[in-house]
Structure 1
């Protein structure tokens, strides 16, 4: 370890403390681990860089690693680079994270600038570590809202193929692949040259050879480009504005890394969706149980119906919906956010009226459908049962009844149909005396928007057909066309289809 505390809680850094006074404190057992508070000793020789070590046992905190010279050197390199890069940040060796029980090799807490209030953990990994151990430590950092940066000892971790003519091919361990898949990049630190190698793109090359008369194909993996190492002094940070996620890049590699950086963005976006989906399911279950026990089965089932996707699932984001679609229900998306963010009582205080309205609409719609009064029946042409689960529709309707809401919204269209019914009832009565298919065929020649889909239409149905016209003048033109081309139509021999 590179940091300890005196009895007075004064921090000492092994690389720059006074050797004589520190040795005196060490011999008197007055140097302590800043994490476990165990007694440590000061070590300095002719070969190894100075460091502190526990007198009895090493720390048992997660992430504690035996203090080999390489590990100490790696931490020192990262510490010095961070100090030069972020002079106003709080940067310290071997800090204990109480929330997770971990010890960070180099801890960074930003006080100002573009990373203000962000916390980072820089880890130099020299000893071998299992994939599961790395995942545990990475997940713990994430749970404490700390972004972790892992630097693997290049000499120990970066392996190459021993096959003849393929010595540049990489032998990637499961650990490397997991880190690459999880964080988007892998960093290797060369302690001899202080260079950082950034893995960001791989290509696979299958090669077939005849070995003892047998055709064998082997796939080799290469990093592309082959040269992707830069000195630490050339490294800079790149922050994603939306997620605050930071990666290390260099000007020489930035253009080549563009595709990978885009992939990291989509990876972060997907991860956010997965986290939100999991939280949504948890909060929805809570609110679903409350709705059933408090407001009854019908209310709970209607609540569920409002939330269902096109395929009947209760997901946070409907995979078949796109925000650019004309039918996208933006208000439903907001409701789903409220399921996540609002407490149960607060949520139903906001949405109970909306769900009650949906239930009432279904009953009201059935009554309107059965009614033959023009200004009531026509309302069913402006709404469908599927609308009654659309949050946007229900919010716009507000406290109005379905009848009052639709009447107000489609007033002009209703007046158009009423005008036809009151002034041209004779034409409507004549139309219902003829074949529906024949009428539709003749209507096609007058106005494409006029088409009767009801197989047994009433005069009311035909009056409603005029609702989409653009005014009384257009109505009169079409009525005259109907009289000329349908009612007063003269049957011609050419109308017979001899192929039937």
Structure 2
């Protein structure tokens, strides 16, 4: 986890906290059990439970890709002054999106960075839960879901549709810090060849913002 609670019940972020400034204990925002800061040469700073935990919100098996991706996206939104919360718990939904952002003051957007397998039933349940509560939801896929010659059943779950983009998918490459938007997706039934266009966004390039991306796709047209 990248977020913990301090003894004053304030949220603290793992990559921003200094060990000498930690006063008292740190706690998991989900189960409220004690956690500690882990900082090493390989893994990015994060919090972990002292003992094996059955916490229903935070898993100890979180991968480096998942931790890094959440942090990259959070930094990208923050530098654009887009309100963003890491690992925000939504008590009414009993869900914790990886990020929660506000593109306007009325509609929050839940962002899920999906790196591992998720069942169709669970994905649909989580998506509908967000939507019924008035949230938009964006699923961004990790390296497990990399596009190849044809769409898999798992990839099909995360397809979006827009009149300008046709069917499209979002991927995050944490190794190169790039967001990929594969759009105009077409799969030919006879030989199952997949065609698409790829719009790449470097998360380290401050000139490319969310507004830049939206403006770019608003000028596109699609001919079926």
The two structures have a TM-score, normalised by structure 1, of: 0.40
Q: 1:132 to 1:140 in 2, by over 3 A?
A: same
- Paired residue for 1:156? 144
Q: 1:68 to 1:122 in 2, by over 3 A?
A: same
- Paired residue for 1:185? 168
- Paired residue for 2:120? 131
Q: Deviations over 1:178-215 (max 9, x none)?
A: 22157853210111222211122123346xxxxxxxxx
Q: 1:146 to 1:250 in 2, by over 3 A?
A: same
Q: Distance in 2 between matches of 1:204 and 1:185?
A: 12
How far did residue 32 of structure 1 move? 0.5
CA contact (8 A) 1:33 1:39 kept: yes
- Paired residue for 1:7? 7
CA contact (8 A) 1:131 1:174 kept: no
- Paired residue for 1:259? 222
The number of residues matched between the two structures is: 216
Query: What secondary structure is seen at the aligned counterpart in 1 of 2:20?
Result: helix
Q: Distance in 2 between matches of 1:250 and 1:51?
A: 35
How far did residue 250 of structure 1 move? 6.0
Greater RCO (CA < 8 Å, at least 6 residues apart):
2
- Paired residue for 1:57? 53
Q: Distance in 1 between matches of 2:134 and 2:61?
A: 26
- Paired residue for 2:191? 218
CA contact (8 A) 1:53 1:67 kept: no
Q: Deviations over 1:132-177 (max 9, x none)?
A: 2211111111111111111111x221132xxxxxxxxx33122221
- Paired residue for 2:109? 120
- Unpaired runs of at least 5, structure 1: 161-169, 207-216, 239-247, 264-500
Q: How does 1:18-417 map to 2 (within 5 A)?
A: 18-22=18-22, 25=24, 30-55=25-50, 56-61=52-57, 66-87=61-82, 89=83, 91-109=84-102, 115-153=104-142, 155-160=143-148, 170-180=149-159, 185-205=168-188, 218-223=191-196, 225=197, 227-232=198-203, 233=205, 234-237=208-211, 249=214, 251=216, 253-256=217-220, 258-259=221-222
CA contact (8 A) 1:64 1:103 kept: no
Q: Distance in 1 between matches of 2:53 and 2:101?
A: 27
Query: What secondary structure is seen at the aligned counterpart in 2 of 1:185?
Result: strand
Query: What secondary structure is seen at the aligned counterpart in 2 of 1:229?
Result: strand
Query: What secondary structure is seen at the aligned counterpart in 1 of 2:158?
Result: helix
Q: Which has the higher strand share?
A: 2
Q: Distance in 2 between matches of 1:148 and 1:181?
A: 11
Q: Distance in 1 between matches of 2:54 and 2:182?
A: 33
Q: How does 1:443-462 map to 2 (within 5 A)?
A: none
CA contact (8 A) 1:32 1:39 kept: yes
CA contact (8 A) 1:79 1:93 kept: yes
Query: What secondary structure is seen at the aligned counterpart in 1 of 2:67?
Result: helix
Q: Distance in 1 between matches of 2:186 and 2:175?
A: 28
CA contact (8 A) 1:33 1:54 kept: yes
Query: What secondary structure is seen at the aligned counterpart in 2 of 1:127?
Result: coil
Q: Distance in 2 between matches of 1:49 and 1:32?
A: 19
Q: Distance in 2 between matches of 1:108 and 1:146?
A: 10
Q: Which has the higher helix share?
A: 1
The two structures have a TM-score, normalised by structure 2, of: 0.83
